[in-house]
Chains A and B, each alone.
Chain A
Amino acid sequence: MSKTVAQLLVRERTMLTPHHALITLFSDTMPVCSAGQFLNVLVPDSPRTFLRRPISIHDYAPDGTLRLLVHDVGDGTHRLCRLQPDDTLDCLLPLGRPFSMPATPGDVLLVGGGVGVAPLLFLGKELARSGCAVTFILGGKTEADILRREAFEQVGRVGLTTEDGSAGTRGFVTHHPAMCQPYDRIYTCGPKPMMQAVAKVAHQTGTPCEASLENMMACGLGACLCCVEKTTSGNRCACTDGPVFDTKELLW
């Protein structure tokens, strides 16, 4: 699908926590998007937000709806968390290289931490639809940080970890028993140390692993070279060669 600038209509915005919003966008000409891709969003009425903000596609349906899961961490995301129904959002999409799908359906593990769970719902749905058995491990500091648990439970098995033990296994995602089972493929998105720990487990068991990075971006189009990640083949753009990378290519 060719990249485009689209005016997406805000259908709904609900606060999942005081700092996390689930935003439903609609367009009757919504471009075809793949799991792992992102939007570069022009934040309206936020003078201190000059550049667009990259946000993952959290959920996507062929009827023209697309969902974002946004964590309020600064001016731009704060404003996005206050969008109202009927507002329009100027977005560049679809951007980035998507997650790759296994050639044959198998057992897949999707590990997310914090707002990094965002792209894993769309991915999990696509994998389940292709016949894969999907297991999620969702991690957070406390139970309140586990986002969209019910939505994930509709797609696959869900394991939880929290650092304080308030839900699921106490500790980090890699401490979850489901982490030790064999998988055909592992996908991860979240804080870098978490993804590095997941990639390490995957490498030890020889399991192919893909991670979605959140490097700072300006253009989102492969033009400015601001978002580079060091890889086995030199600096590569997280916005076009990624955000999804095979973890074997990353110099972690």
Chain B
Amino acid sequence: MPDLHVNIGALRLKNPVLTASGTFGYGTEFAPFLDLEALGGFIVKGTTLHPREGNDYPRMAETPSGMLNCVGLQNKGVEHFCSEIYPTLSNLDTAVIVNVSGSTVEDYAACAARIAELEHVPAIELNISCPNVQAGGMAFGVTARGAASVVAAVRKVYPKTLIVKLSPNVTDITEIARAAEAEGADSLSLINTLLGMAIDIESRKPVLSIATGGLSGPAVRPVALRMVWQTAKAVKVPIIGLGGICSAEDAIAFIMAGATAIQIGTANFIDPRTAAHVVQGINEWMQSHGVNSLDEIRGCI
């Protein structure tokens, strides 16, 4: 049996396969289809300090080999997560990671501080693609300064493993990556969705309620792979790669590009067993190629 375990900062994962925030609910939705404990871990829905209703329907548009969404971080707030959801997840033998979102630096920090109290949540993933209401709605993660401000504030209050999730909607992702690393991020995950749009030519209106949305799925995979490769060369902290991964082969390509771990997102919608299949597929690939540890192939490109 090859050794699939990987380390993300102080966090040890039994294998490199995680599931992406917003595509895996709270994990329990997928329990009928796969053994959650067979995964390296899963990242739950975007959680904010206060409850959010999200954007109006329609929130989704199918695109060639992908989809656009503008869910808008619908969630019942961090207190609801702590009191209602966390107790159902705290006995699982896998890493349960919370994706933290916000619209002000203070909200991010308060939400992260609350999650820090949860014994069985070993890490948070900071979603810095959210609009900053104090900066005219521009996403925190599109400038090095914006990214640094939120990472610094959260780092002060969050002692466990801090993963910062980068937005691909930038000119040079390595600049943002270095800013997040400099402020104390333990790991970087990328990519979040690419900003896109769809138009219904019959109604002459955008398909999505807020006109634009985030593109995900295999359509974004080459872009994600390129950004992971560039970022892995630019920083020292471990990279978690995602964007369109559907198979073990896709996952291995991200690891060769320099990723320590990977996440499965939109592919969960096509087959809810995908993440478990990817764990098994990586295992089989390593055996058939005589690879004993992922260190042998990581960043070989």
Interface residues of A (CB under 8 A from B): 2-5, 42, 48-52, 92, 215-230, 234-235
From the candidates B57, B63, B71, name the one contacting A229 in the complex (CB within 8 A). Answer: B57
With both beta carbons as reference points, the residue of chain A lying nearest to B269 in the complex is identified as A219
Q: Which residues of A contact B66 (CB under 8 A)?
A: 50
With A223-B24, A226-B69, A235-B54 known as contacts, the answer to whether A50 contacts B63 (CB < 8 A) is yes
Q: Restricting to B176-225, which residues have a CB under 8 Å from any CB of A?
A: 217
> Distance (Å) between the CB of A91 and the closest chain B CB?
11
- The answer to whether the Cβ of B29 comes within 8 Å of any Cβ in the partner chain is yes
Which residue, B33, B62, B63, B271, has most C-beta atoms of chain A within 10 A? B62
A48–B29 alpha-carbon span in the complex (Å): 27
Q: Is A228 touching B54 in the complex (CB atoms < 8 A)?
A: yes
- The answer to whether the Cβ of B74 comes within 8 Å of any Cβ in the partner chain is yes
Interface of A is mostly: loop
- The answer to whether the Cβ of B273 comes within 8 Å of any Cβ in the partner chain is yes
From the candidates B54, B65, B269, B271, name the one contacting A218 in the complex (CB within 8 A). Answer: B269
- The answer to whether the Cβ of B30 comes within 8 Å of any Cβ in the partner chain is yes
Which residue, A2, A3, A220, A221, has most C-beta atoms of chain B within 10 A? A221
Q: Is B71 touching A224 in the complex (CB atoms < 8 A)?
A: yes
Q: Is A224 touching B69 in the complex (CB atoms < 8 A)?
A: yes
With A5-B272, A218-B269 known as contacts, the answer to whether A226 contacts B29 (CB < 8 A) is no
- The answer to whether the Cβ of B270 comes within 8 Å of any Cβ in the partner chain is yes
With A5-B271, A224-B22, A235-B74 known as contacts, the answer to whether A50 contacts B62 (CB < 8 A) is yes
From the candidates A4, A42, A48, A230, name the one contacting B270 in the complex (CB within 8 A). Answer: A42
Q: Which residues of B contact A215 (CB under 8 A)?
A: 57
Q: Is B67 touching A235 in the complex (CB atoms < 8 A)?
A: no
| Minimum-distance CB pairs A-B, first 4 | A223-B25, A226-B60, A219-B269, A3-B32
Q: Which residues of B contact A220 (CB under 8 A)?
A: 269
Which residue, B30, B53, B67, B269, has most C-beta atoms of chain A within 10 A? B269
With both beta carbons as reference points, the residue of chain B lying nearest to A221 in the complex is identified as B29
With A50-B270, A223-B23 known as contacts, the answer to whether A228 contacts B217 (CB < 8 A) is no
Q: Is B67 touching A218 in the complex (CB atoms < 8 A)?
A: yes
Q: Which residues of B contact A224 (CB under 8 A)?
A: 22-23, 25, 60, 69, 71, 269
Interface residues of B (CB under 8 A from A): 22-25, 29-30, 32-33, 45, 53-54, 56-60, 62-67, 69, 71, 74, 217, 266, 268-273
Q: Which residues of A contact B33 (CB under 8 A)?
A: 3-5
From the candidates B22, B30, B60, B272, name the one contacting A216 in the complex (CB within 8 A). Answer: B60
Which residue, B57, B71, B217, has most C-beta atoms of chain A within 10 A? B57
> Distance (Å) between the CB of A244 and the closest chain B CB?
17
Q: Is B64 touching A48 in the complex (CB atoms < 8 A)?
A: yes
Q: Is B60 touching A4 in the complex (CB atoms < 8 A)?
A: no
Q: Which residues of A contact B30 (CB under 8 A)?
A: 221, 223
> Distance (Å) between the CB of B62 and the closest chain A CB?
5
> Distance (Å) between the CB of B275 and the closest chain A CB?
12
Q: Is B59 touching A51 in the complex (CB atoms < 8 A)?
A: no
Q: Which residues of A contact B63 (CB under 8 A)?
A: 50
A224–B58 alpha-carbon span in the complex (Å): 13
Q: Which residues of A contact B271 (CB under 8 A)?
A: 5, 42
With both beta carbons as reference points, the residue of chain A lying nearest to B63 in the complex is identified as A50
Q: Is B273 touching A5 in the complex (CB atoms < 8 A)?
A: yes
- Could you name 8 residue pairs across A and B whose Cβ atoms are closer than 8 Å? A5-B33, A92-B272, A220-B269, A223-B24, A223-B268, A225-B74, A228-B54, A234-B53
Q: Is B74 touching A228 in the complex (CB atoms < 8 A)?
A: yes
